[in-house]
Chains A and B, each alone.
Chain A
């Protein structure tokens, strides 16, 4: 026994020593030093784009934190055109699968490459800035390429401005308020409440937006069509329950047009009465045996399979996630195609409010302090964000993929055909259509070169037009990372996620109320109000940033 204690003591001493060594500069656990500033290579004329004046050939490593991206720069016409124009050759680096661990290890060891693109919602966003890993774009632009300010949208730069007054990352797929105003008739959302067209029409296109209408339609559907291809019909389906709220959380709240703020404060949508009443409707639906147990068990793959088999009558599901089944049905069984119809509405039957494109955009790109040539990098960004870069990214290489016709770029006929017939080859040879999406400006593209809606999602997309609600004020208002509030929110959310299904399968309204009240009590115990305070503060900040009232 004594020997064991000695052993343990030795081990502890050992571990302690190693930690100490770290402090002594042994630098096992410490980071690389930051590079010294380089001398300006080319003094540019600020009235002209910087990229046109700096023709040095540079290769940059670009880490894109998305495992599904399979781009390879230089193989396709689009990226070739971009290299020709700027002299920059890119080496894309992607993680395998989910990028979370990869970027964390790079941060911990300071082995980031020249450029980094991540989602705006990712924890790494804060880490990159707070850890001092990235350059301020405005500083780089002032020093090396003032024309950058002509191409960059001031609203977007302002939106991503940090407390120190600098902007570090620039977004893609970002829409300013003006963009949304202009695009009112063309902007679409990913939301949908899908029903089988044939059954819906056979039932007489009933109104499913009232509580009785919803309930009765599902009942009738089940009575008239108890089986589909030998298997039971599933009257109503939802998103995967898994660890989230499925489509019965925020998604349903959006359908019910429940506001995000009330009286200048962030509103606790979850405890809204309209929402609660509709959850009770779903409880009744379940009590009538119209919600089959598998909707709680199925994961995404099973849901997609069942949709392809046409087993759902109705499903509250975003069409963007249903792309494969919808395409499948469109190609093989168009008679039982799913269409988007009006879903649950609040008691005042207000129109649905769908979240639309945001000013936060989708991903944000940074120039890291490890960049071997930040001078070139900022000029490269200048190119990518401007018309020429957008044209190349969307159309491809001139002559190879497109030509000018009547002053407008037009895609060559045979290229268009390749795009629909053999997308993989199109991607590899032409690479347009924003295959390199990191700076894509959809608003600009829709304004200059609008595309037509066609294919399996034509109807579901156009259904959402005009129902988009800009939510600039509420963007990025959730606590994130390891902030105290983030942990509270996570715990309450986890509790809510397991409460939701219980509410649906509860056997009576009384039981429902009991379960509901116990959740509310828990949220109070955990001081959920601090989350609302946090959101309210962020909302006020955002309003100031955007110049709203």
Chain B
């Protein structure tokens, strides 16, 4: 006859049996998820071991194991660099301002697109809007150098409206660099970034709008009370992710648009690493920076998620 154990043991047995029944019920779900985990182990975790080279002095002729340890030297190399502070300032500055201005815009664009009554206009605008996403910065940058040059079309327009001085080379002005970089980046990605919000809006039950209209709500009120709350989940998701991405500035864009007159405001982390590291095959250095950026992004993500959890009561994770 089984001895009656303490309450804890009973609770323990109950827990195990609940676990077993849950697993049975969720069998398929676990299979689904495990497929992903196995993939991750093979394609993410195994190569992730290579991160150790940020603590080594790795040359391609070594194996990852045989390369000599150097501890934090690679990290010291970047943090102690006199360019480090200006670079961080530029990277974070461009990113944050770009985020503050650039985050709401695709949402607003999606809303506006959604509200267009002329269907032809809607399809047309949508298709046109994401085209710049496919232009390469190499070509776009070259065109911008022409258009923003002394005799470029931008100056022509400005002069016609009597705004700007004669023949200014805009890309030579270091105070204007951030503005040019941010606005061109925005223009390029606006349409593309709005796609996900359009998808979210597509999932809203039109019946809600009907009901609101009957109740006498105007366009703006409908947007405020129905559309926005319905896409809140996706908006928060992208916001959190964008925040965690703050050290990632589009370095191809920066490389093309920067020139020696603007380096103080146009040199960012990735362009510096490219010039200092990758060109010479300094993989350890580049990996160390990569690790630094990853850590920052990871911490920002967890923090941002915690904050939104407190404010919203839902986690995106």
Q: Is the CB of A241 within 8 A of B48?
A: no
Kindly identify, within residues 96 to 123 of chain B, every residue whose CB is under 8 Å from any CB belonging to chain A.
none
When the two chains form their complex, are residues B45 and A501 in contact, meaning their CB atoms are under 8 A apart?
Answer: no
Residues in B neighbouring A490, C-beta threshold 8 A: 276, 280
Partner of A127, one of B45, B59, B145, B261: B59
When the two chains form their complex, are residues B280 and A30 in contact, meaning their CB atoms are under 8 A apart?
no
Closest approach, in angstroms, between the C-beta of A217 and any C-beta of chain B?
Answer: 22
- Size of the B side of the interface (Cβ < 8 Å), in residues, is 40
Q: Contact at B150–A296, with CB atoms within 8 Å?
A: no
Cβ A4 vs Cβ B302 within 8 A: yes
Cβ proximity bits A1-30 to B, threshold 8 Å, 1 near / 0 not: 000100000010011001100110000111
Contact status A481-B280, CB under 8 Å: yes
Q: Are A19 and B52 in contact (CB under 8 A)?
A: yes
Given that A29-B65, A494-B275 are contacting pairs, would A297 and B149 also be in contact in the complex, using a CB cutoff of 8 Å? yes
Residue contact A299 to B145, C-beta cutoff 8 Å: yes
User: Within 8 Å of chain B (Cβ to Cβ): is A108?
Assistant: yes
A232 CB within 8 Å of chain B: yes
- B 72-100 to A, binary, CB cutoff 8 A, 1 in contact else 0: 00000000010000000000000000000
Contact with A302, one of B60, B64, B146, B275 (Cβ below 8 angstroms): B146
| B50, CB-defined interface residue at 8 Å | yes
With A107-B61, A302-B145, A481-B280 as given contacts, are A15 and B151 in contact (CB-CB < 8 Å)?
A: no
Most chain B Cβ neighbours within 10 Å, of A232, A301, A482, A494:
A482
Q: Is A293 an interface residue (CB 8 A)?
A: yes
Q: A118 an interface residue at 8 Å Cβ cutoff?
A: no
Residues of chain B contacted by A236 (CB below 8 angstroms): none
Question: Could you say which of B45, B57, B63, B302 contacts A29, with CB atoms under 8 Å apart?
Answer: B63
**Beta-carbon contacts of B162-175 to A below 8 Å, as 1s and 0s?**
00000101011000
Given contacts A243-B275, A482-B59, contact A22 B171 (CB under 8 A): no
New contact pairs (4) apart from A15-B52, A19-B52, A127-B60, CB-CB < 8 Å: A15-B45, A292-B150, A296-B260, A486-B280
B interface with A by C-beta (< 8 Å): 45-46, 48-52, 57, 59-61, 63-65, 81, 141-142, 145-146, 149-151, 167, 169, 171-172, 256, 259-261, 263, 275-276, 278-283, 302
Q: List 22 A-B contacts (CB under 8 A).
A: A18-B48, A28-B46, A29-B49, A30-B63, A100-B279, A100-B281, A104-B60, A108-B60, A123-B280, A127-B281, A131-B60, A133-B61, A232-B151, A232-B167, A292-B150, A296-B260, A297-B169, A297-B259, A481-B59, A482-B280, A482-B282, A490-B276
**Interface of A with B (CB < 8 Å)?**
4, 11, 14-15, 18-19, 22-23, 28-31, 100, 104, 107-108, 123, 127, 130-133, 231-232, 241-243, 292-294, 296-299, 301-302, 481-482, 486, 490-491, 494, 497-498, 500-501, 505
